[in-house]
C-alpha cells in the first residue's frame, strides 16, 4: 500500500490529474493549475542550482523575468511568432545564467547571494527604466499564441504546453541529477576544494548549474508571458524570489520531488489563503514558520520517514552533507 | 386523471422555468445580487483596494437597510490582487467563474487592472473601476467596462489647465517614474503639448525618497510659477518640507493620490509649508468635513478602529453610481440591461465625487470632474473649484 503512495506513483498521478483538469474545472482552476506547473518548473530549476550545486543565488525571479520579457518583446517589437520567440527568450535567460557562473567562481555563500541579489535588482531596474524597449513600469500586452490547426483555444493550448514542458523538464532534471553531472554538483556543494581534488572542473559544473537554472526559469517566463498576455515588472520582484526560495525549502532542498511538492503546496496554499482576505500575509508567514519548525528538511523528508518509495539519489540530508550524498546514492 | 397529470406537468414546468430564468443571470437571485471586487487588500497599496472596498460595502449596507434594489440585497465578495498582474487575473477568474458574481466593482492598481481587462472583456462581465487610473482600462472602451475613477489623462489635463488658469507661465514638473507615475506622466506631457507649453524643469523623485534637496534646488533654479506634482504623498511631503527650508514657495499642484489636504498637512508637519498647495481630489470633501458625518459613522461602526479616508469615499461614490445603474436596469436584471443602464447614466449625483457621473456608449470614463481642494494652515479644507475636463 505504501508503495502506491510512493514518489513516482504520486507524481505520475499528479501529471494525469493535471491533464484532466480542463475537462471538468472552471477557467479559474485551470489558470491556477497552469500557474502551479510554471512554479514547478521554476522550483526544479532553482533546486538544481541551490539544493544540488549549493550555489546560494537570488536571481531566479530575474531569470524568470528575462524569459518573459525576451519572449514578449520579440513578439511585440519584431513580430516574431511565439514559437520562435519563446525558445529565444528562454535561451537568453540561459545565456545570462551561464554568464553568472563567472562571479560564482570567485564568490560563495553570502557574497554570492549579495551579488546575485544585486543582479536581480539591476534587472528589475532595466525593466522599469529602459522604456524605449521594455515599455517601463506600465508593462505591455503580448498577443495570445495560436494553436491552429489544433482545436485548442489559447488558454488551453498554453495549459497543455506548460504540462508538456513541466513533465519534460522534470524528467531531464531527474536524469541529470542521477548522472555524473549531478554527482559533480553534490561534490561542489559539499566542498569545493575536495571536488577540485577529485578532478571536478568547478567552472564547468557551476556554469552548467547556473545555465540549467536560467533555462528552466526562462522557459517558465516564456510560458508566463503567454499565460497572462501581459508582462510588467511587478511579476518579477523580491516577492517572487522569496516565493521560489520558500518552495524549495518547504518541499525539500536538494530534492526534485521536494521541488514539485513545495511548488504545489505553496501555490495551493496561496490560493486557499485568499479566504483570509487581509490577514492572508500573516497566515502565509505563519504557515511557512510551521513548515520550517516542524519539517526543517522539507515535506519530502517527512514523507520519507513515513512512506516507502520517497528515497531519492543525492538528496541533501541536514547535518551530514558528506555522508548524505554517498549514503543515499544508488548504485 | 389526465387533467391532474396536465396540471402537475404545468406546475413542474412553471417551477422549473422560474429558477431557470434567474439562473441565467449569474450572481442574481430573487433576493440578492452578488458583486465582486478585486484590488490590493494586503501590502503597501492596500489604500487603493481594501479601503475603497470598505467604502463600497458601507454604501451597499445603507441601501440594503432600505430594502435593497428592487427587493434584492447587495453582497460584496473581495479578492486580493496585491497589485500583481498575475494575481489580478487569478482574482478576476475566481470572481467570474467560481464566485459567479453578477458584476465587478474594483480595480485599485493600474497594471493589475490593465492585465485583468482582457479577461473581463472576454467574459462580458460588467466592471465599474473605482480607483485604478490607467487610460488603457477604459480606452478604447470595452463594452462592459466603465470607470468612475478620474483617469490619468483627465487629471493630467486638469493639472495643466489649473496652472494656466492661475496665471502660471513657467510651469515645472516633479514626478515619480514607477507604473503609477508613468501612467500620469505621459498624458501630462501630452497636455503640455496641446497647450503649446514647454515645462521649465522636469525633475524625478523616487517613491521612497527621504530627501528632496537636489530636486528643490534644481527646480528653484528654473524659477517656476507653478510646480505640478505627480508623486505619492510621502515624496510630496518631503519635497514641500525641503522647499520651505529653501524659501521656495511656488504654487504647488497635486493630484488625487494626495487627495486629503488635512492629512497631507499633518504629514508635512512644517507650519506654513502647505500654504501654496492645492490638490485634485476625486471627491469634493475632506474626510473631516461635517457633510461626511453619515459615512464617517458608518465606516467606524462597520470597521472598528478605521477612520474615514478619501479612499473609502472613492468606494462610496463608485458604489452609488453602480447602484444607480442597477436601479435603472429594472427588476428583471440581466448583465445586458445593467451595461445599457451604465452607458445611459447621466448627471448622477453621488455623496462624494466632485462632479456628476455621466457615461455614454462611446466614452466609458464616467467621472471627468476633478475637484480642487486647498487647506490654509490651521483652517478648514475648502473646495476651490471643480474643473470639468473634456
- A-chain residues near B84 (CB < 8 A): 234-235, 239
- Model confidence at B367: pLDDT above 70: yes
> Which site among B86, B101, B182 would you substitute to test the A interface, given the most A Cβ atoms closer than 10 Å to its Cβ?
B86
Distance CA B214, CA B131 (A): 32
Q: For the whole model, what pTM was predicted?
A: 0.83
Nearest to B42 among A32, A139, A281 (CB): A281
Q: Percent of chain A beyond pLDDT 90?
A: 49
- Model confidence at B18: pLDDT above 60: no
Over residues B333-349, the mean pLDDT reads 95
Chain A contact residues (CB < 8 Å to B)? 26-29, 31-32, 35, 128-129, 131, 136-139, 141, 224, 227-230, 232-235, 239, 271, 274, 277-278, 280-281
Over residues B259-287, the mean pLDDT reads 88
Residue B124 shares a structural domain with residue B196? no
Whole-number pLDDT of residue A327: 38
The rounded radius of gyration (Å) of the Cα atoms in chain B is 23
Which CATH number does the domain housing residue A299 bear? 1.10.3470
Whether cis (ω within 30° of 0) applies to the bond prior to A153 is no
Q: Which cell numbers in the block locate residue B297?
A: 459613522
Residue B179 shares a structural domain with residue B267? yes
Strands A140-141 and A230-231: antiparallel
- Model confidence at A328: pLDDT above 70: no
Nearest to B90 among A32, A139, A280 (CB): A32
* B7 domain residue, yes or no: no
Contact B256, B150 (CB under 8 A): yes
Q: What ipTM is given for this predicted complex?
A: 0.80
Distance CA B198, CA A296 (A): 61
Q: What distance in Å separates residue A244's CA from the closest CA in chain B?
A: 15
Whole-number pLDDT of residue A303: 81
Q: Percent of chain A beyond pLDDT 70?
A: 90
Over residues B239-252, the mean pLDDT reads 94
Positive or negative, the CA dihedral A172, A173, A175, A181 is: positive
Whole-number pLDDT of residue A10: 79
Contact A52, A177 (CB under 8 A): yes
* B4 domain residue, yes or no: no
Residue B187 shares a structural domain with residue B271? yes
Whole-number pLDDT of residue A314: 57
Taking CB atoms and an 8 Å limit, are B115 and A230 in contact across chains? yes
* Structural domain of A127: 2-328
Residue B219 shares a structural domain with residue B249? yes
> Which site among B100, B115, B123 would you substitute to test the A interface, given the most A Cβ atoms closer than 10 Å to its Cβ?
B115
Residue B164 shares a structural domain with residue B248? yes
Nearest to A278 among B50, B91, B134 (CB): B50
Nearest to B97 among A27, A138, A271 (CB): A27
Q: What distance in Å separates residue B116's CA from the closest CA in chain A?
A: 9
* B366 domain residue, yes or no: no
Taking CB atoms and an 8 Å limit, are B177 and A128 in contact across chains? yes
Taking CB atoms and an 8 Å limit, are B80 and A239 in contact across chains? no
Distance CA B253, CA A278 (A): 33
* B2 domain residue, yes or no: no
* B141 domain residue, yes or no: yes
Strands B201-204 and B171-175: parallel
- Nearest CA-CA partner of B315 in B111, B49, B80: B49
Specify the number of domains making up chain B: 2
- Model confidence at A288: pLDDT above 60: yes
- B-chain residues near A131 (CB < 8 A): 182
Number of separate helices (H) and strands (E) present in chain B: 12, 12
* B176 domain residue, yes or no: yes
Taking CB atoms and an 8 Å limit, are B111 and A139 in contact across chains? yes
Over residues B363-377, the mean pLDDT reads 89
Question: B165-191 b/e with 16+ CB inside 10 Å = b?
Answer: eeebebbbbbbbbbbbbbbbbbbbbeb
Residue B29 shares a structural domain with residue B142? yes
Residue B83 shares a structural domain with residue B183? no
Distance CA B240, CA B232 (A): 12
Residue B161 shares a structural domain with residue B272? yes
Nearest to B94 among A28, A131, A277 (CB): A28
Whole-number pLDDT of residue A323: 44
Taking CB atoms and an 8 Å limit, are A128 and B181 in contact across chains? no
* B365 domain residue, yes or no: no
Specify the number of domains making up chain A: 1
Residue B381 shares a structural domain with residue B295? no
Which CATH number does the domain housing residue B211 bear? 3.40.50.2300
Question: B312-338 b/e with 16+ CB inside 10 Å = b?
Answer: bbbbbbbbbbbbbbbeebeeebebebb
Over residues B275-282, the mean pLDDT reads 91
* Structural domain of B71: 12-150+290-359
Taking CB atoms and an 8 Å limit, are A278 and B183 in contact across chains? no
> Which site among A137, A140, A268 would you substitute to test the B interface, given the most B Cβ atoms closer than 10 Å to its Cβ?
A137
- A-chain residues near B97 (CB < 8 A): 26-29
Taking CB atoms and an 8 Å limit, are B84 and A239 in contact across chains? yes
Taking CB atoms and an 8 Å limit, are B79 and A280 in contact across chains? no
Positive or negative, the CA dihedral B36, B38, B42, B45 is: negative
- B-chain residues near A35 (CB < 8 A): 86, 90
- Model confidence at A35: pLDDT above 50: yes
Amino acid at each position: 500500500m505504501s508503495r502506491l503512495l510512493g514518489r513516482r506513483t504520486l507524481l505520475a498521478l499528479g501529471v494525469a490529474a493535471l491533464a484532466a483538469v480542463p475537462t471538468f474545472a472552471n477557467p479559474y482552476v485551470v489558470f491556477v493549475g497552469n500557474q502551479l506547473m510554471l512554479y514547478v518548473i521554476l522550483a526544479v530549476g532553482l533546486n538544481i542550482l541551490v539544493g544540488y550545486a549549493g550555489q546560494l543565488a537570488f536571481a531566479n525571479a530575474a531569470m524568470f523575468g528575462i524569459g518573459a520579457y525576451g519572449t514578449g518583446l520579440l513578439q511585440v517589437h519584431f513580430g516574431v511568432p511565439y514559437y520562435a520567440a519563446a525558445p529565444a527568450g528562454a535561451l537568453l535567460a540561459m545565456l545570462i545564467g551561464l554568464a553568472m557562473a563567472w562571479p560564482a567562481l570567485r564568490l560563495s555563500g553570502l557574497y554570492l547571494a549579495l551579488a546575485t541579489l544585486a543582479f536581480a535588482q539591476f534587472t528589475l531596474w532595466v525593466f522599469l527604466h529602459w522604456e524605449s524597449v521594455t515599455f517601463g513600469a506600465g508593462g505591455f500586452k503580448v498577443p495570445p499564441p495560436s494553436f491552429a490547426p489544433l482545436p485548442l483555444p489559447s488558454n488551453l493550448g498554453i495549459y497543455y504546453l506548460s504540462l508538456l514542458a513541466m513533465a519534460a523538464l522534470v524528467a531531464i532534471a531527474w536524469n541529470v541529477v542521477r548522472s555524473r553531472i549531478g554527482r559533480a554538483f553534490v561534490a561542489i556543494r559539499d566542498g569545493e576544494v575536495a571536488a577540485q581534488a577529485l578532478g571536478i572542473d568547478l567552472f564547468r559544473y557551476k556554469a552548467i548549474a547556473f545555465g540549467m537554472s536560467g533555462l528552466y526559469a526562462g522557459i517558465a517566463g516564456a510560458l508566463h508571458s503567454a499565460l497572462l498576455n501581459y508582462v510588467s515588472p511587478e511579476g518579477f520582484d523580491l516577492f517572487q524570489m522569496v516565493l521560489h526560495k520558500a518552495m524549495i525549502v518547504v518541499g525539500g532542498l536538494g530534492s526534485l520531488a521536494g521541488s514539485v511538492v513545495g511548488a504545489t503546496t505553496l501555490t495551493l496554499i496561496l490560493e486557499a489563503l485568499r479566504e483570509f482576505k487581509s490577514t492572508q500575509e500573516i497566515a502565509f508567514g505563519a504557515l511557512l514558520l510551521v513548515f520550517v519548525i516542524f519539517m526543517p528538511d522539507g515535506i519530502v523528508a517527512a514523507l520519507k520517514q513515513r512512506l516507502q518509495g520517497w528515497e531519492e539519489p543525492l538528496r541533501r540530508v541536514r547535518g551530514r552533507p558528506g555522508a548524505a550524498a554517498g549514503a543515499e546514492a544508488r548504485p | 386523471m389526465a387533467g391532474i397529470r396536465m396540471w402537475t406537468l404545468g406546475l413542474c414546468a412553471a417551477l422549473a422555468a422560474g429558477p431557470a430564468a434567474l439562473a441565467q443571470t449569474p450572481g442574481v437571485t430573487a433576493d440578492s445580487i452578488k458583486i465582486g471586487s478585486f484590488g490590493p487588500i494586503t501590502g503597501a497599496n492596500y489604500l487603493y483596494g481594501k479601503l475603497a472596498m470598505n467604502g463600497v460595502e458601507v454604501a451597499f449596507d445603507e441601501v440594503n437597510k432600505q430594502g435593497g434594489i428592487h427587493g434584492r440585497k447587495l453582497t460584496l465578495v473581495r479578492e486580493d490582487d496585491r497589485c500583481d498582474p498575475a494575481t489580478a487575473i487569478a482574482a478576476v477568474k475566481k470572481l467570474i467563474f467560481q464566485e459567479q458574481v453578477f458584476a465587478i466593482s474594483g480595480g485599485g492598481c493600474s497594471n493589475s487592472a490593465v492585465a485583468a481587462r482582457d479577461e473581463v472583456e472576454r467574459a462580458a462581465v460588467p466592471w465599474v473601476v473605482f480607483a485604478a487610473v490607467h487610460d488603457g482600462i477604459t480606452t478604447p472602451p470595452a463594452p462592459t467596462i466603465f470607470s468612475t475613477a478620474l483617469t490619468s489623462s483627465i487629471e493630467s489635463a486638469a493639472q495643466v489647465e489649473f496652472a494656466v488658469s492661475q496665471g502660471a507661465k513657467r510651469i515645472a514638473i516633479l514626478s515619480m517614474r514607477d507604473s503609477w507615475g508613468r501612467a500620469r506622466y505621459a498624458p501630462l506631457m501630452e497636455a503640455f503639448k496641446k497647450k503649446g507649453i514647454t515645462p521649465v524643469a522636469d525633475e524625478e523623485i523616487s517613491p521612497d525618497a527621504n530627501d528632496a534637496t537636489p530636486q528643490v534646488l534644481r527646480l528653484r533654479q528654473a524659477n517656476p510659477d507653478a510646480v505640478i506634482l505627480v508623486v505619492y504623498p510621502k515624496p510630496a511631503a518631503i519635497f514641500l518640507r525641503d522647499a520651505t527650508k529653501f524659501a521656495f514657495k511656488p504654487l504647488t499642484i497635486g493630484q488625487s493620490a494626495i487627495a486629503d489636504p488635512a492629512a497631507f498637512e499633518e504629514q508635512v508637519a512644517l507650519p506654513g509649508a502647505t500654504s501654496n498647495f492645492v490638490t485634485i481630489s476625486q471627491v469634493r470633501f475632506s474626510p473631516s468635513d461635517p457633510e461626511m458625518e453619515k459615512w464617517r459613522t458608518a465606516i467606524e461602526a462597520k470597521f472598528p478602529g478605521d477612520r474615514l479616508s478619501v479612499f473609502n469615499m472613492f468606494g462610496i461614490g463608485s458604489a452609488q453610481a453602480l447602484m444607480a445603474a442597477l436601479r435603472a436596469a429594472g427588476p428583471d436584471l440581466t448583465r445586458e440591461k445593467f451595461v445599457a443602464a451604465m452607458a445611459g447614466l447621466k448627471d448622477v449625483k453621488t455623496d462624494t465625487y466632485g462632479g456628476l457621473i455621466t457615461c455614454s456608449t462611446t466614452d466609458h470614463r464616467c467621472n471627468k470632474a476633478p475637484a480642487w481642494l486647498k487647506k490654509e494652515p490651521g483652517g478648514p479644507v475648502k473646495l476651490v473649484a471643480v474643473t470639468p475636463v473634456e
